[in-house]
Amino acid sequence: MKGTLQHITNTLPSSVRPREKLKANGIRSLSDGELIQLLIGSGTVQFGVAKLSRKIARLIKESSGDVSQESLLMIPGVGPAKVAQIIASLELAARYPIAKRDNQFTSLKDAGSYLRRYPTVPDSIVILTLDISRRLIERRIASVAEHKLFIKDALSAAIHDSAQYVVCARCTDDAGLLPTMGDLAIAKDVRQLGKLLGLNSVEYLLYDAHAVFSVMKEVDHAGE
């Protein structure tokens, strides 16, 4: 399966630019680095804007948002003008905080509660991409009828959203939330996807109106 996933990766279209992602999918689809790209606009001859933005985002995360002008200036390619833009944006966000949505998944219960809010589509799987804080980036619906197509959809979503976590879930009416052979196969492939991309975690869930079950537990039990 690893070879198949690698082939799919090589055939994916180039990632769209942050401005295009913003227009197509909304602000929550952008990673921290992409938000900073929109903010600073450009890099330098030596340091491209994407790489520069990732360095700035890493510094902001490491300092929990309390970043100093001096520490920003220590990043090669960041000058006084960019520092002023970043510091001003952080201060503005601090002055007018927006209440964060409760779409943060720290447990199976959180995932189940969120998934039940939306009507299900027959023969489909929900793909949730999450950021480093396990907050929702985007919710997508993929067809489970074509196994390889679903894996490609999940892979594309993770790359497109710069996700750190991916949750795939199927709604079922089967008593006891018993996984089928197809569910076990999907769980194994999703795990390989996570390893290929170096994600923090991947999950494949079955859920109904009352409970949620991790198919990954069955894969572990089978000694995969």
Residue pLDDT, tens place only, 101-152? 557 888 888 888 899 888 777 778 899 999 888 888 888 888 777 777 788 8
Q: What is the pLDDT of residue 166?
A: 93
| pTM of the predicted structure, to 2 decimals | 0.56
Q: Looking at per-residue confidence, does 47 or 70 come out higher?
A: 70
16 vs 33, more confident = 33
Whole-angstrom Cα distance, residue 142 to residue 128?
11
Over range 75-80, report the average pLDDT: 90
**CA atoms of 58 and 62, how far apart (whole Å):** 6
135 alpha carbon, distance to own chain's centre: 8
pLDDT of 101 reads 53
Rounded-to-integer distance, Cα 116 and Cα 216, Å = 20
Answer yes or no: is pLDDT of 84 > 90. yes
- Whole-Å CA distances, 97 to 77, 91, 92, 100, 123: 29, 10, 8, 9, 40
Per-residue DSSP letters for 55-96? HHHHHHHHTTT---HHHHHTSTT--HHHHHHHHHHHHHHHHS
pLDDT in tens, 1-18: 445 544 544 444 444 578
Element (H, E) at 181: helix 181-197
The predicted model gives 207-216 an average pLDDT of 89
Domains of the chain: 18-95 (no CATH), 102-221 (3.40.140.10)
pLDDT band at 72 (very low <50, low <70, confident <90, very high): very high
- pLDDT at residue 30 above 90? no
